[in-house]
Amino acid sequence: MSTELVREVAPVALQTQSHYTIKRPWFSFFERTFRVFTNDGQLIMVVKHPVFKLREEFKVFADEAKTRPLLLVKSKQVIAINFSYEVFDIQTGQELGQVQKKGLRSLIRDKFILLDPAGAEIGYAEEQGASLLRRFIPLLTSKHAIFINGQQVAFIRQKFRFFTKEFDVDLQPSQVDPRFVLAVALLALMAEAKREDRGGSFGD
C-alpha cells in the first residue's frame, strides 16, 4: 500500500471539479490500485483492479477503507476481442453508460467506444501521441483524450514519476456524468497497465 498521506474529508461534488490526479504504484502483482484525487489533494475514488480474473468486475469506492461504494464496473464477456464494460451507480443501480474496447484497433492505439445506457454511441476515448513507439518503450509517458458528441471533454496526461504512475486529468463541462468520464479514464489506464504487465506486447 502507498505510504503517502491520503486526505479524506467531506464528499466532493464532482460537477464542480475540473482537474484530478490519478495515481497507482509502478509495480503490482495481484491487483492494481488506482487512487483519484481532486486538485487540492482530497481522495475521492479508490479502485483495486484484480490482475488475474476471467470476467472483470470491480467496485470504485469513495474512501480508502472501502466503506462508501460509488460505482460498479462489469465486463459483459469472459473472452472477446472487443470487450464491453457497463458502469453502474451502486447506490441507485442506475447504469451510467457503457465502454467498448476496440481490440484490433487497439493493437497500435488504444480506442474505446462510449455508449449511453440505451446502447447508442455517444463518443470515444483514444490514446494520443506516439502510441506505437510506447509499445516498445513503455517508459515513454502516455496521453489519452475522451470525446463526447464530437467535443473533447477530458484529457489525461501522464507525469513522469519514480515508483508511482501519476496522471493529470482535465475535464470540460458536458452533459455526461463526470463519474462516467472518470470511469472511462480509469479503464483506459487499466488497459495500459495490463499491456505493460505483459512486457509491452500488442493488444490486451
**Residue 7 forms part of a structural domain:** no
> Residue 3: inside a domain, yes or no?
no
- The three cell numbers of residue 46 are 479508490
Strand, coil or helix: what is 121? Answer: strand
Q: 31 near 50, Cβ under 8 Å?
A: yes
User: In the prediction, which pLDDT does 202 show?
Assistant: 45
Question: What pLDDT is stored for residue 96 in this prediction?
Answer: 96
8 within a domain of the structure (yes/no): no
How many Å separate Cα 24 from the centre of its chain?
11
111's CB contacts (< 8 A; 6+ apart) are 101, 102, 105, 124, 125, 126, 127
- Name the residue range of residue 22's domain: 18-197
User: Which residues, given as ranges, of the chain have pLDDT below 50?
Assistant: 1-3, 9, 80, 200-204
**Which pLDDT belongs to residue 35?**
96
Q: What domain count does the chain have? A: 1
- For 158, the grid coordinates are 501522464
According to the model, what pLDDT value does residue 1 have? Answer: 44
Answer whether 167's CB lies under 8 Å from 189's CB. Answer: yes
The per-residue pLDDT for 15 is 64
**Stated pTM of the model:** 0.83
pLDDT at position 37, please? 95
How many Å apart are CA 99 and CA 125, to the nearest integer? 9
Q: Per the domain annotation, does 13 fall within a domain? A: no
Q: What pLDDT score does 53 carry?
A: 59
Q: Where are the alpha helices (DSSP H) in 50-177?
A: 131-136
- Per the domain annotation, does 204 fall within a domain? no
Cβ distance 136 to 116 under 8 Å? no
- What residue type is 119 in one-letter code? G
pLDDT digits (tens, 9 = 90+) for 75-122: 876 554 567 899 999 999 999 999 998 765 556 788 999 999 999 999
3-state DSSP helix/strand/coil % of the chain, to nearest 5:
15, 40, 40
Contacts (Cβ under 8 Å, ≥6 apart) of 89 = 70, 71, 95, 96, 179
Q: What is the pLDDT of residue 26?
A: 78
For residue 5, being part of any structural domain is answered with: no
Kindly report each contact of residues 194-203 with a partner whose C-beta sits within 8 Å and lies 24 or more positions away, as own/partner. 194/51, 195/135, 195/138, 196/138, 197/28, 197/51, 200/134, 200/135, 200/136, 200/137, 200/138, 201/135, 202/107, 202/108, 202/135, 203/103, 203/106, 203/107
- Is 143 part of any domain? yes
Contact 104, 91 (CB under 8 A): no
